[in-house]
C-alpha cells in the first residue's frame, strides 16, 4: 500500500507548524468591529513515528479544533503540515487525498459517528469501496476488521448502531478507521463517553492494535489518568496555545508550567492520604475573543508578575525534550 | 405441572430503523384507523366506475335534493338530481389527486433544493433560503389564490399554483434536517475516508433526510386538498359539471337551507380525508422520534 515508511524512524511522522485558526464572531448589524475567537493560535509540535502523543487541556482550549485542522476537516487560516517529509497540500508535496488515507480519526460520540441507516459491515466497508476496492473484497476486509476489534461479524455485521452498546459502537468506529491501514490515528476523546470498565477494554484494544499495525496515535483527552496510561509524550494546551510539551513521566512528575501543575493537582488522587483540599484553579478560562495581553494564563496564575502582562512567553526547552512557555523558567 | 420457562439463547434478528418505526405504528390504534379510513376512501375513488351505483353526471329535475336514505339514492341527490354517493366517489378521484400530486412534485423539487442548500451551506444556502422566504411573506391560501388567479382557472393551473405554494415549505424542512445531519460525526468520518460530496449525499445524507421530510410532506396533503377545494369553490380550479368535493360544496351551497345534511356531505369528506392524512403523519412522526 501507499502507507510506506519513507524517512526512516528518526524523521517525525507529522510536523505541525504554526497552525492557526480564528473563527469570526458574527457581531450585530451595527457592530463595526469584527471580533474573532482565537481557537488555535500558533500551535507547533511534532509527532514521532510509533509514539502516542497525548493532548490535554480544559474544554474550549482548542484540542478538538487542532485535531480537525490536522485531519483537514477544517482548513487552517495559516500553518503547515508535513507528513513524513511531504508538505500536505503543497506544491510538490502530498495530495490531500493521499494524506487522508494515511490519517484517520475516531470521534467522541460513538453514536453520532455512525450512520443510523447503515449496518456495521456497510459502515466499515464504505471507505474502501469509495476508493474502488471491489465490493466482495471490501466486505471481506470489513469482516476481518470487525473480528479484530472483538465483534463477531456474523453476529454484529448486520446490526444497526442503535442495537449496539457504546463500547461496541466505538469498536466499530475503530474498525472503520483502520480500514485504510492508516499510519496515524487521531483519537478525539475516543473513550471519554464510555464506562470505566469498557474504557479500559477499548484502551487495551488500542494498545494492541498500535503494536500490531505500527500505528502512531494522537490521543486527545481531558482525562489525565487515561493520558498517563496511554501516552508517551503529553502536550498541554491553554486557550489555543501550547503551554507545555514533554515526555509523560517527566511532565507528570516535574511539570514546568503553573497551568500544568494546577491541572495535575486537580486530578483526584487514588491515594486518600494525598487528597488536596484547596482547588488549584479559580474561575473560568478567560474569553478567547479577548485573551489577556502577554501570557494568557496570567489572570489565573498564582505566580504571575509584571512581565507576564507585557510579554508573551515562548515555548522554551527546559530539559531535553521538555518544553514549557513560562517566564519563570528563565529565572535561575 | 412443569411451569419452568425455557429460555432459548436466541439471536435476535437485526432490525433496521424503519422496522422499529413500523412496529410502533402497527401498535398505535389511531394511526392504524386513519390508515384504514384512507385506504377505504382511496379504494372508493379508484374503483368508482365499478362501485358507483349510478351515473354521477345524470341529472333529473324530478329527484332534486332528495334526503339521505332515499330509496335508490343512499346519500340523497344534489341540486341537479345527481346521485350523491356516486358523485362523492368520483369526486374523490380529483380531490385526492389535487391533494397528493402537488405535494409529491413539491417533495421532489423541495428535497433536492433543500439538500443542496443544507449540504453546501454558506452563501448558496443564504441565496436559496432568502429567496424562498419571499413566498413566506404571504399566507399559503392567499398565495394559491393569487398564483391560480394569475394563471387562469383550470385544473393544471391550480396544480402548478399548489406546487409553488408547497415547494418553499418542503425546502425549509429539508434544509434544516440536512444542516443537522451534516454536522454529525459520521459525515466527517465519510469525508475522512475521501468520499466525494455526491457519494456522501447519496449514502449518508439522503437516507437520513428523506424520512422526516416525507412525513412532513404527508401532513401537507391535507392542506393541499383543502386549498384545492378552496380554489374550486372560488371557481379557480375544476369546472362544473366535473365532480370534485370543493366544487360540490360550492354548488350545493344554495341548498344548505333546504337539505343541510346533503349539502354538508362533500365538506365532511374533505374533513375526514384531511384528518386521516394528518393523524397518519402525526403517528408516523411520533413513532420516528421514539428510538434514536
- Among A residues 92-121, those touching chain B with beta carbons less than 8 Å apart: 97, 100-101, 103-105, 107-109, 112-119
Residues A300, A259: Cα–Cα separation, whole Å: 9
Asked whether residue A296 is assigned to any structural domain, the reply reads yes
**B256-275: pLDDT as tens digits:** 887 888 788 888 888 899 88
Mean pLDDT by 10 residues, chain A (332 residues): 64 88 73 74 90 89 89 87 83 79 89 89 90 89 92 88 89 91 90 87 92 92 89 91 91 88 77 59 71 81 82 84 83 54
Contact in structure between A202 and A167 (CB atoms under 8 Å): yes
Asked whether residue A3 is assigned to any structural domain, the reply reads no
Does B10 reach chain A within 8 Å, measured CB to CB? no
Please tell me whether residue A330 adopts helix, strand or coil conformation. Answer: helix
Pairing of strands A316-319, A241-247: unpaired
Asked whether residue A60 is assigned to any structural domain, the reply reads yes
Which comes out higher in pLDDT, residue B291 or A107? Answer: A107
**A57-105: pLDDT as tens digits:** 888 788 889 999 998 888 888 888 888 888 887 777 788 878 888 899 9
CATH code of the domain containing A205? 3.40.50.300
- Report DSSP state, residue A237: E
Distance from CA of B184 to the nearest CA of A (A): 6
**A271-312: pLDDT as tens digits:** 666 655 555 666 677 777 777 778 888 888 888 888 888 888
Rounded to the nearest 10°, the torsion over CA A27, A29, A30, A31 is: 10
Residue of B nearest to A180 (CA): B193
- Burial group, residue A79, by CB count within 10 angstroms (0-12, 13-18, 19+): middle
**In angstroms, how far is the first alpha carbon of chain A from the final one?**
52
pLDDT band at B36 (very low <50, low <70, confident <90, very high): very high
pLDDT band at B5 (very low <50, low <70, confident <90, very high): very low
Does the structure show a pLDDT above 60 at B15?
A: yes
pLDDT value of residue A4: 61
pLDDT value of residue A147: 92
All residues at 6 or more sequence positions from B180 whose CB lies less than 8 Å from its CB, including other chains: none
pLDDT value of residue B8: 42
pLDDT value of residue A280: 61
Cβ of B193 within 8 Å of Cβ of A126? The answer is yes
Per domain, the residue ranges of chain B are 97-290
Residues A199, A205: Cα–Cα separation, whole Å: 10
Residues B3, A136: Cα–Cα separation, whole Å: 49
Cβ of A160 within 8 Å of Cβ of B15? The answer is yes
CATH class of B97-290: mainly alpha
Does the structure show a pLDDT above 90 at B171?
A: yes
- What cell was used for B43? 379504494
Give the count of domains, chain A.
1
Does A260 reach chain B within 8 Å, measured CB to CB? no
Size of interface A-B (CB pairs under 8 A): 81
Of B15, B186, B191, the CB nearest to A115: B186
**B203-222: pLDDT as tens digits:** 899 888 888 898 889 888 88
Residues from chain B contacting residue A172 (CB–CB below 8 Å) = none
pLDDT value of residue B50: 86
pLDDT band at B37 (very low <50, low <70, confident <90, very high): very high
**B72-119: pLDDT as tens digits:** 777 777 777 788 888 888 888 888 888 899 999 999 999 999 999 999
Helix (H) or strand (E) holding A332: none
Looking at chain B, the whole-number percentage of residues with pLDDT higher than 70 is: 93
pLDDT value of residue B10: 45
Mutate to test the interface with B, among A71, A130, A135 (most CBs of B within 10 A): A130
pTM of the predicted protein model = 0.80
Which comes out higher in pLDDT, residue B73 or B140? Answer: B140
Looking at chain B, the whole-number percentage of residues with pLDDT higher than 90 is: 22
pLDDT band at B2 (very low <50, low <70, confident <90, very high): very low
Cβ of A73 within 8 Å of Cβ of B292? The answer is no
pLDDT value of residue B6: 45
Residue numbers of the domain that contains A199: 14-117+160-268+281-330
Amino acid at each position: 500500500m501507499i502507507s510506506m515508511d519513507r524517512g526512516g524512524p528518526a524523521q517525525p511522522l507529522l510536523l505541525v507548524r504554526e497552525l492557526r485558526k480564528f473563527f469570526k464572531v458574527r457581531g450585530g448589524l451595527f457592530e463595526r468591529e469584527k471580533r474573532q475567537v482565537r481557537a488555535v493560535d500558533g500551535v507547533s509540535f511534532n509527532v514521532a513515528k510509533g509514539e502516542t502523543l497525548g493532548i490535554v487541556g480544559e474544554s474550549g482550549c482548542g484540542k478538538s479544533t487542532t485535531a480537525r485542522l490536522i485531519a483537514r476537516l477544517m482548513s487552517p487560516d495559516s500553518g503547515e503540515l508535513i507528513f513524513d517529509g511531504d508538505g500536505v497540500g503543497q506544491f510538490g508535496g502530498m495530495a490531500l487525498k493521499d494524506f487522508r488515507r494515511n490519517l484517520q480519526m475516531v470521534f467522541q460520540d460513538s453514536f453520532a459517528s455512525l450512520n443510523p441507516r447503515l449496518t456495521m459491515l456497510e459502515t466499515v466497508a464504505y471507505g474502501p469501496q469509495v476508493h474502488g476496492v471491489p465490493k466482495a473484497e471490501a466486505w471481506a476486509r470489513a469482516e476481518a476488521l470487525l473480528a479484530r476489534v472483538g465483534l463477531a461479524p456474523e453476529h454484529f455485521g448486520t446490526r444497526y448502531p442503535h442495537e449496539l452498546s457504546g463500547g461496541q459502537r466505538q469498536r466499530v468506529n475503530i474498525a472503520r478507521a483502520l480500514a485504510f491501514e492508516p499510519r496515524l490515528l487521531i483519537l478525539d476523546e475516543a473513550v471519554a463517553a464510555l464506562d470505566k470498565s469498557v474504557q479500559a477494554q477499548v484502551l487495551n484494544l488500542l494498545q494492541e492494535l498500535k503494536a500490531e499495525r505500527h500505528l502512531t496515535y494522537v490521543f486527545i483527552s481531558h482525562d489525565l489518568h487515561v493520558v498517563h496510561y496511554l501516552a508517551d509524550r503529553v502536550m498541554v494546551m491553554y486557550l489555543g496555545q501550547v503551554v507545555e510539551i514533554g515526555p509523560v513521566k517527566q511532565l507528570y512528575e516535574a511539570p514546568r508550567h503553573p497551568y500544568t501543575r494546577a491541572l495535575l493537582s486537580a486530578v483526584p488522587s487514588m491515594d486518600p492520604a494525598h487528597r488536596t483540599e484547596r482547588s488549584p484553579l479559580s474561575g473560568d478560562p478567560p474569553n478567547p475573543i479577548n485573551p489577556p495581553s502577554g501570557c494568557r494564563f496570567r489572570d489565573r496564575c498564582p505566580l504571575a508578575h509584571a512581565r507576564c502582562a507585557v510579554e508573551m512567553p515562548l515555548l522554551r526547552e527546559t530539559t531535553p525534550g521538555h518544553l514549557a512557555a513560562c517566564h519563570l523558567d528563565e529565572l535561575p | 405441572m412443569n411451569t419452568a420457562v425455557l429460555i432459548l439463547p436466541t439471536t435476535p434478528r437485526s432490525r433496521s430503523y424503519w422496522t422499529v418505526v413500523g412496529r410502533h405504528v402497527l401498535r398505535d390504534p389511531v394511526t392504524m384507523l386513519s390508515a384504514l379510513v384512507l385506504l377505504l376512501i382511496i379504494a372508493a375513488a379508484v374503483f368508482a366506475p365499478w362501485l358507483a351505483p349510478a351515473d354521477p353526471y345524470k341529472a333529473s329535475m324530478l329527484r332534486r335534493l332528495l334526503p339521505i336514505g332515499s330509496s335508490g339514492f343512499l346519500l340523497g341527490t344534489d341540486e341537479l338530481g345527481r346521485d350523491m354517493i356516486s358523485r362523492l366517489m368520483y369526486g374523490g378521484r380529483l380531490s385526492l389527486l389535487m391533494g397528493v400530486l402537488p405535494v409529491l412534485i413539491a417533495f421532489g423539487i423541495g428535497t433536492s433544493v433543500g439538500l443542496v442548500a443544507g449540504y453546501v451551506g454558506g452563501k448558496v444556502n443564504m441565496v436559496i433560503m432568502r429567496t424562498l422566504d419571499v413566498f413566506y411573506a404571504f399566507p399559503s391560501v392567499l398565495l394559491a389564490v393569487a398564483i391560480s388567479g394569475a394563471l387562469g382557472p383550470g385544473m393544471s393551473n391550480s396544480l402548478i399554483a399548489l406546487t409553488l405554494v408547497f415547494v418553499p415549505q418542503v425546502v425549509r424542512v429539508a434544509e434544516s434536517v440536512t444542516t443537522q445531519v451534516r454536522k454529525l460525526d459520521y459525515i466527517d468520518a465519510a469525508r475522512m475516508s475521501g468520499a466525494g460530496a455526491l457519494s456522501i449525499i447519496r449514502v449518508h445524507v439522503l437516507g437520513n433526510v428523506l424520512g422526516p421530510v416525507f412525513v412532513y410532506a404527508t401532513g401537507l396533503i391535507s392542506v393541499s386538498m383543502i386549498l384545492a377545494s378552496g380554489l374550486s369553490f372560488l371557481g379557480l380550479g375544476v369546472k362544473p359539471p366535473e365532480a370534485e368535493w370543493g366544487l360540490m360544496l360550492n354548488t350545493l351551497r344554495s341548498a344548505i337551507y333546504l337539505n343541510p345534511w346533503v349539502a354538508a356531505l362533500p365538506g365532511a369528506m374533505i374533513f375526514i380525508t384531511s384528518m386521516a392524512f394528518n393523524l397518519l403523519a402525526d403517528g408516523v412522526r411520533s413513532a420516528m422520534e421514539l428510538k434514536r
